[in-house]
Amino acid sequence: MKHTWAMAIDLDRCTGCGACVVACNAENNIPVIGEAEAGKNRLMHWIRVNRYWEGEYPEAQAVYLPIPCMQCERAPCELVCPVYATYHNEDGLNAMVYNRCIGTRYCANNCPYSVRVFNWYDYKWEKPLDEQLSPDLTVRSRGVMEKCTFCIQRIRRAKETAAEEGREIRDGEVVPACVQTCPPGAMLFGDLADPHSEITRKLKDPRRFRLMEHLGTEPRVVYLKRQKGAGR
């Protein structure tokens, strides 16, 4: 069965706590780069929580926006890769083939959401911190672009388990690390190809919007606007 993976992020629930960021660090072997590199805006995080200020004191307010890779249906990053290192996979995800990547960084340049991060160095895990590295993923080397994969290793595992047991993947059976840990339950992940999945229902919410819709990138990450006041 063909899947259409999608993520919903309910900004009415998001508190900006950053649990998703560290969960992703742990799941995806994301290196720690240190203060100097962080100052150059080279954080390797695959999901970040943007904070925007709105208004002035005393009406000042902050808006949080967790931003993973949007897994665009019409992805600007894919078009510019000269070596076909980033491509559209069978489930419609933007996948990366690290071995093909030659580090032109055209894709990062063309991504309107700035979610692609580049390995400027061979980052090291001081022993025994390397014991924690997930065996499901590679550790990327210098000169390679990387980004959020919707935890493709979890999707693959769920597919294998389902195939072994001769069934379809159940709704909610596979969730990325960020969605799994999100304390207020602001994130939801599922298959839009399944008309009965929770996410299909959730995305009928009139609050839905996508980042920079005018660009026509058709992101697979859909946000739900914050609400105001009591009641609905």
Partner 1 sequence: MLDRRQFLKLGGATAFATLFGGCDKVQSRLIPFVIPPENYTLGEALWYASVCGQCPAGCGVVVRVSEGRAKKVEGNPLHPVNRGKLCARGQAALQALYHPERLSRPMKLSGARGSGAYTPVSWEEALSLLMGPLKKGKAEAPGSLLMVSEPMRGHAGLVAGRFMKAFGSKHRVAWDPFGPDAMLSANAAVYGVRDLPEHDLANARYLLSFSGDFLETGISPVHYAREYGRMRGDRETIRGKVVHFGPRLSMTATAADLFLPCAPGTEGFVALGIAHVMVRDRLTAASSAAGRLADDLGAYSPEEVEKKTGVHAHDIAAVAEEFARNQPGLAVAGTGAATGPDGAFHCAAVALLNVLAGNVGTPGGVSFPDRAQAFAKYGAEAALLAPSPESGYGGMRAALEKMRGGAFRMAILSGATNPAFTLPPSLKFNEALSKVPFVVAFASFLDETTSLADLVLPVPTALEAWGDDLAPVGHAGAITLCQPVVEPLHDTRSMPDVLIAAAKELGGEPAKALPWSSFRECIEKAYGGPGGEMEKALQRGGFFGESSSSRSASRTGSVAFPKAAERPIDGDPKAFPLALHLYPSLTLYDGRGANLPWLQEMPDPISTAVWRNWVEVNPKTAAGLGLAEGDGVTVTSPSGKITAHVAFNPGIAPDVAAMPLGQGHTRYGKYANGRGENPITLLPAGEMYALQATRVALAKTKLSTTLARTGNPEGQWKVKNMM
Site for partner 1 in 41-80 (CB under 8 A): 41, 43, 48-58, 60-65
Rank residues 33 and 169 by Cβ distance to partner 1 and give the closer one: 33
Distance (Å) of CA 118 to CA 95, 98, 104, 105: 15, 11, 10, 8
Closest CA to 145 of 90, 193, 203, 101: 101
CB 30 → partner 1: shortest distance, Å? 9
Q: Is 206 in the site for partner 1 (CB under 8 A)?
A: no
Rank residues 81 and 186 by Cβ distance to partner 1 and give the closer one: 186
b/e code 27-63 from CB counts within 10 Å (16+ = b): bbbbbebeeebeeeeebbbbbbbeeeeeeeeeeeeee
DSSP 187-217: EEEEETTSTTSHHHHHTTSTTEE-TTGGG--
Q: Is 34 in the site for partner 1 (CB under 8 A)?
A: yes
The stretch near partner 1 (CB under 8 A) out of 70-78, 84-92, 175-183, 191-199 is: 175-183
Q: Is 1 in the site for partner 1 (CB under 8 A)?
A: no
Q: How many residues bind to partner 1 according to rule CB under 8 A?
A: 72
Q: Is 204 in the site for partner 1 (CB under 8 A)?
A: no
Among 2, 3, 4, 38, binds partner 1 (CB under 8 A): 38
Q: Is 114 in the site for partner 1 (CB under 8 A)?
A: yes
Contacts of 125 (CB under 8 A, 6+ apart): 31, 132, 133, 139
The stretch near partner 1 (CB under 8 A) out of 24-32, 70-78, 82-90, 165-173 is: 24-32
